[in-house]
Amino acid sequence: MKLKSEQDIEKMRTSGNILARILHVLHEKAVSGVRLIDLDEHAALLLKEAGARAAFLGYRPEGARVPYPAHICASLNEVVVHD
């Protein structure tokens, strides 16, 4: 097991705080009738303002036809997995 340095821990803390703020805002905006693209665009704006980036945006694992196209991964209602 590799131990994290104080610098690593501080980066993780900062990232976690950014994520928490963004999730809080998106939770408030996730109301009936909102489009997922609108949530994604708002997340993109919040990430940019925070000087952060989405971890999976553009990620293309082996075998994937196209890279992941969004800043967030969200599905409507009780859907667990998207197409």
Annotated domain spans of the chain: 1-83
Among 46, 52, 42, CA closest to 21: 46
- Report d(CA 40, CA 68) in Å as an integer: 13
Structure tokens at 48: 């940019």
* Separation between Cα atoms, residue 48 and residue 3, nearest integer Å: 30
| Distance between CA atoms of residues 39 and 31, nearest Å | 10
| pLDDT score at 82 | 58
Whole-model pTM: value is 0.83
The pLDDT > 90 percentage for the chain reads: 87
Q: What is the pLDDT of residues 14-44, one digit of tens each?
A: 999 999 999 999 999 999 999 999 999 999 9
- pLDDT of 83 higher than 70: no
